A and B are shown apart, each in its own frame.
Chain A
Amino acid sequence: MTDNSIILPVIAHLFTAVLLIFFWRKVRIQQAVSVAGNILILGFSIGLFIKTWRAGYLTMQAGDWQAPFGITFVSDVFSSTMILLAGIAGLAVSIYSTVGISRHRIQYGYFPIFHFLLLGLNGAFLTGDIFNLYVWFEVIIISSFVLMTLGGRKPQVEGAIKYVTLNLLASVMFLTAVAILYGLTGSLNMADLSLKMAKIENRGLVNITGLLFFLGFGIKSAVFPLYFWLPSSYHTPPSAIAAVFGGLLTKVGVYALLRVFTLIFIPDEFTATMFTIVATATLLTGAFGAFIKRNIRKLFSYLIVCHIGFLIGGLGMHTSEALAGTVFYLIHDIIVKTNIFLAAGIMYKISGTTNMDKLGGLYADYPKLSLLVAVVLFSMVGIPPLSGFWPKIWLFDAAFSTDTWYLLIAMIIASFITLFVIARLWSDAFWKTRPVQEVPPTDDFSAMSWYRRSLLVTPVLVLAAVSLYIGFGAEHIARLSERIATDLKDTAPYIKAVLGREIVNF
């Protein structure tokens, strides 16, 4: 069955981007078009999600070339959920950017590139073809290179060099792995690969190919020991860009890992153990890195690394419960990580610094805003009943039932350290009185008009509302995550939906 509504979130982003290039250098029109485009795309995403939830699987054979020869776009519940989250985060960042991104950057094409980035993300979530996935990854990283260097300040370029080098290396690994996969099976369609890989006798070769994929996606999603590019580059671009990077960019790597390691490579004991060990190391190094940082945005960057550990750990345990916990954590993490960087941007606008030693007194000056940021911060920590709490229960429970005690200990330590650093951030930035400085910093935030201020705060408010919903409406998200985990475990309906026939010899 062919359904063009699958591709709408992708095409709409391309359409918006092209429209934006027509209005090159016209700042006001670009801001309006981008926000309008994102609202429209959020509508498409919601529509796609509802449709997919009812039907289970939707497929589209691009160009009418049938699978496994053509490129298939597949929307299952997992990918449509990711599309929906990207739609929400995209809209929030787009609204925030109208004020948070300077005129200068907009004139050099910030908005078109931003839409190309989201185009790549949506494409990566929807594709059912492994080489096409690589192409979408290229779209994503090339857009992100431009966004990271836009503005051309020295620390930005320095951060970008580390980012570009490591990500290109990751692309090479990914491409090599795709080539080996093609050599082994003669197919690039993921559903077809799933059938063909299961029949290959030489399991060693299959495992090595899987590890190459893990290396490629692992670098992109910043797992131990290849995470160091992330904390040294994510604090350099403006907050709006860092928000979309922190919220979505590392997570698309995790999405690809979840997809590839449930559909094509089913982890055997060795691979699964390696995942849990890598996850343990990621959790610990990320947490200890966050422990010593005094710059808010560097601290958040380390927390991204740390929390990737939960996701990889869940994938390593590979029970339905662990996968459901991972998916739940992913949903929560995308919203919260986008939001904390936006909140950090507002704090920077108020105080002119992101150094915790120089911050202070935010609660006294802006009590309502501070409470809003508190909701965001403590959702990330996972204080019950906020959103981070529920997936952790599942992950802890899965760690008990699979006897991966080292992962369990690491998850507990990481949770405590996250709690500690966030509590310290709260007391330093919000409660303590502002340290006396020779030149008192100017408050850009209160100097803005009410309208511009509300454009900055509304996205944070909306995303905070979404995380509150994830926390208090956890039952809905839990049902969604369980359904996705079931889909990931039982791939036969996916394969049948793509190849359009009953599976022979399976």
Chain B
Amino acid sequence: MKSVILRTASNYLLPLLLLFSVFILVRGHYSPGGGFVGGLMASIAFVLHAFANKLENTRKLLRYPPGAFIPVGLAIALLSGLAPVFIGKPFLTALWFSTPVPIIGLVGTPLFFDIGVFFVVIGITLSILFNISENIL
């Protein structure tokens, strides 16, 4: 798209949207949000960037092919589920640190599981959308 307004705006929107997606990710345990929605928002940020600045530039910005996010996310989710196994609790048991981290709040394995979901969603959504737009546009 050749709109100057969109292109300029997208440069500012990308970090803002990514920040917002992280906010949604982190608040998701007791309030609406979480890894899935956060991941969708993050991918929308990149898709918007791709609309404004062409796909190649977004791919360059990402550095890695979007598919590479999938195994990373899966590994994070799997390891967060495995962590309690090492201290003799059942698989997927939630473990929490005793003191809350400033701003974020209590950190525990569910957060890492959600981060894993976040990356998987980004990887899959971007792979699908990039492939489609390469084949159509």
B131 shortest CB reach to chain A, Å = 13
Could you say which residues of chain B place their CB within 8 Å of the CB of A64? 84, 89-90, 93-94
Which of A14-22, A40-48, A288-296, A385-393 has 4 or more CB atoms under 8 Å from chain B? A14-22
Interface residues of B, count at CB 8 A: 17
Contact of A63 among B74, B75, B90 (CB under 8 A): B90
Could you say which residues of chain B place their CB within 8 Å of the CB of A63? 90-94
Contact of A11 among B71, B75, B91 (CB under 8 A): B91
Interface string of B82-96 (1 = CB under 8 A from A): 101100111111100
Tell me the bound Cα distance from A60 to B93 in angstroms: 11
Q: A61-B90, A63-B92 are in contact. Are A4 and B75 (CB under 8 A)?
A: no
Q: A4-B85, A21-B70, A24-B67 are in contact. Are A60 and B78 (CB under 8 A)?
A: no
Contact of A21 among B71, B82, B85, B91 (CB under 8 A): B71
| Chain B facing A: main interface SS | helix
The answer to whether A60 touches B91, judged by C-beta atoms less than 8 angstroms apart, is: yes
B106 shortest CB reach to chain A, Å = 17
| Chain A facing B: main interface SS | helix
Q: A21-B70, A22-B71 are in contact. Are A62 and B78 (CB under 8 A)?
A: no
Closest to A109 in B: B67
Could you say which residues of chain B place their CB within 8 Å of the CB of A2? 89-90
Query: Which among B75, B88, B89, B92 has the highest number of chain A CB atoms within 10 Å?
Result: B92
Asked if A258 CB lies within 8 Å of chain B CBs, one says no
B72 shortest CB reach to chain A, Å = 8
> Which chain A residues (1-32) contact chain B, with CB distance < 8 Å?
2, 4, 7, 11, 14-15, 17-19, 21-22, 24
Could you say which residues of chain B place their CB within 8 Å of the CB of A15? 78
The answer to whether A7 touches B91, judged by C-beta atoms less than 8 angstroms apart, is: yes
Could you say which residues of chain A place their CB within 8 Å of the CB of B92? 62-63
Closest to B110 in A: A63
Tell me the bound Cα distance from A4 to B82 in angstroms: 10
The answer to whether A18 touches B93, judged by C-beta atoms less than 8 angstroms apart, is: no
B55 shortest CB reach to chain A, Å = 21
Could you say which residues of chain A place their CB within 8 Å of the CB of B84? 64
Closest to B95 in A: A64
Closest to A24 in B: B67
The answer to whether B90 touches A60, judged by C-beta atoms less than 8 angstroms apart, is: yes
A80 shortest CB reach to chain B, Å = 17
Q: A11-B78, A11-B82, A14-B78 are in contact. Are A4 and B91 (CB under 8 A)?
A: yes
Tell me the bound Cα distance from A123 to B85 in angstroms: 18
Closest to B123 in A: A21
Tell me the bound Cα distance from A17 to B120 in angstroms: 14
Could you say which residues of chain B place their CB within 8 Å of the CB of A7? 91
Tell me the bound Cα distance from A443 to B88 in angstroms: 55
Tell me the bound Cα distance from A22 to B91 in angstroms: 23
Interface string of B48-85 (1 = CB under 8 A from A): 00000000000000000001001100110010011011
Could you say which residues of chain A place their CB within 8 Å of the CB of B74? 14, 17-18, 21
Closest to A60 in B: B90
Q: A11-B78, A18-B75, A18-B78 are in contact. Are A4 and B70 (CB under 8 A)?
A: no
A41 shortest CB reach to chain B, Å = 15
B10 shortest CB reach to chain A, Å = 30
B71 shortest CB reach to chain A, Å = 4
Closest to B76 in A: A18
Closest to B86 in A: A4
Tell me the bound Cα distance from A60 to B91 in angstroms: 8
B74 shortest CB reach to chain A, Å = 5
Could you say which residues of chain A place their CB within 8 Å of the CB of B89? 2, 64
B31 shortest CB reach to chain A, Å = 20
Tell me the bound Cα distance from A18 to B82 in angstroms: 14
Tell me the bound Cα distance from A347 to B85 in angstroms: 46
Tell me the bound Cα distance from A400 to B107 in angstroms: 64
The answer to whether B71 touches A4, judged by C-beta atoms less than 8 angstroms apart, is: no
Tell me the bound Cα distance from A262 to B89 in angstroms: 31
Tell me the bound Cα distance from A15 to B70 in angstroms: 13
Query: Which among A7, A14, A24, A63 has the highest number of chain B CB atoms within 10 Å?
Result: A63
Closest 10 pairs between A and B when the two form their complex, measured CB to CB = A21-B71, A64-B93, A63-B92, A18-B74, A7-B91, A22-B71, A2-B90, A4-B85, A64-B90, A62-B92
Q: List 26 A-B contacts (CB under 8 A).
A: A2-B89, A4-B85, A4-B88, A4-B91, A7-B91, A11-B78, A11-B81, A14-B78, A15-B78, A17-B74, A21-B70, A21-B74, A22-B71, A22-B75, A24-B67, A60-B90, A60-B91, A61-B90, A62-B92, A63-B91, A63-B92, A63-B93, A63-B94, A64-B84, A64-B90, A64-B94
